[in-house]
Amino acid sequence: MCFMYKRENLMCELSKKEIFKIQYVKNKYPYVQASIIEVLKIVQKGHGWISDSLLQEISNILEISSCEIEGIATFYSQIFRKPVGRNIIRYCDSVVCFLNGCNQIKKTLEQILNLKIGHTTQDFRYTLLPTCCLGACDQGPVIMINKDLIYKVKKKIILKILDVYK
């Protein structure tokens, strides 16, 4: 398994377990195209992102064009086509969070992490991404780190929050 985030050109191979899961999912659906998102999630769970070589392996197993899979992979924001950090930080930039100070949260995260939106820290610890809504408008501003929602975020506690995810 190649659960490494550091090199974009890293050649990865699917494990036997992943291939079994992909074939199982493929056979669950009457049309193979319906399985693509679920298959991409399986592969990303084990590798952290979908490299070109992994995309081609998926294409071979599903017996469909890699272009078709690429179209779906690049459409969904939860599928990563380049290496990402161990911790994905999403900050809500909806109107409600904007009114509650998400811009200050975004700037503070950029300063502390020394990176721009859409990028990953050099140590591959964090990736910072905007998100339209995290579904907690009454609790804004909100950030999500991995699967954890953090409500009513204040500038002064961001360092403490990030310490939990080192």
pLDDT of residue 166: 87
The β-bridge relationship of strands 126-131 and 87-92 is: parallel
Consult the annotation and say whether 92 binds a ligand. yes
- How far apart (Å, rounded) are the C-alpha atoms in residues 52 and 140? 37
Q: Is 5 exposed, middle or buried (0-12, 13-18, 19+ CB in 10 A)?
A: buried
Q: In the Cβ-directed half-sphere of 1, how many Cα atoms lie within 13 Å?
A: 13
Consult the annotation and say whether 67 binds a ligand. no
pLDDT one digit per residue (tens) for the chain, 166 residues:
333 333 344 456 899 999 999 999 999 999 999 999 999 999 999 999 999 999 999 999 999 999 999 999 999 888 999 999 999 999 999 999 889 989 999 999 999 999 999 999 999 999 999 998 899 989 989 999 999 999 999 999 999 999 999 8
pLDDT of residue 40: 98
Q: CATH number of the domain at 87-163, please? A: 3.40.30.10
pLDDT of residue 10: 47
pLDDT of residue 45: 93
Consult the annotation and say whether 137 binds a ligand. yes
Enter the pTM of the model: 0.79
pLDDT of residue 12: 64
Consult the annotation and say whether 2 binds a ligand. no
Q: Where are the domains of the chain?
A: 16-75, 87-163
